Homo-oligomer: A and B are copies of this chain.
């Protein structure tokens, strides 16, 4: 049995562990409670339902990928065109690393993000807002033109879909995939330059 207070973070860490071991189809709240040595009522005190617990663990996972990208998006030391390159290659290599280091967990989170589409949609909105900052900074610096940086952010995110949408994960390990992403970024950046 565990000692000390039970907090939400501890429950989420145990949930991720249970999901990794049992798979998303079989993992239950009781498994999580057992892993923590507490009653399932203690878990429900923090998360009112199994769905709420699964959504919270999904949001935590998506948030973890988010923070290093937010730091890049807001970094004034890199000029906006280079920042856009760095942002996309960081997103791509982070996802590819997650996939290669722990394919079961990656597959688990694919199921969870499909299940909690509002968590996934909020994550995409957040990423597009980061891209908007880079593009707006580029408009200010004279590197880019864009009548609507949010719309442009959505377009560049869309155009790089093959390098962040999990449906394309099987192709990420292919030779030349990072270079192919860089070619798309270079063409998009040229398209954004003023003329």
Which residues of A approach B to under 8 Å, CB–CB? 151-152, 154-156, 158-162, 165, 167-168, 180, 183-184, 186-193, 195
Contacts and interface: CB of A to CB of B under 8 A. Distances in A.
Nearest to A181: B158
Given A161-B168, A188-B188, 5 more contacts: A158-B162, A162-B162, A167-B168, A189-B191, A195-B195
Majority-rule SS of A interface residues:
helix
B158 A180 contact: yes
A189 B191 CA distance: 7
Nearest to A146: B187
A60 to B, nearest CB: 26
19 contacts: A151-B183, A154-B180, A154-B183, A155-B184, A156-B187, A158-B184, A159-B159, A159-B160, A159-B187, A161-B161, A161-B168, A162-B165, A165-B168, A187-B191, A190-B190, A190-B192, A191-B191, A193-B195, A195-B195
Contacts of A160: 159
Question: When A and B form their complex, which 5 residue pairs have the shortest distance between CB atoms, in order from nearest?
Answer: A191-B191, A167-B167, A190-B191, A187-B191, A161-B162
Contact of A188 (B154, B159, B193, B195): B159
Contacts of A180: 154-155, 158
A144 to B, nearest CB: 11
Contacts of A155: 180, 183-184, 187
Contacts of A161: 161-162, 168
Nearest to A189: B191
Contact of A187 (B168, B183, B188): B188
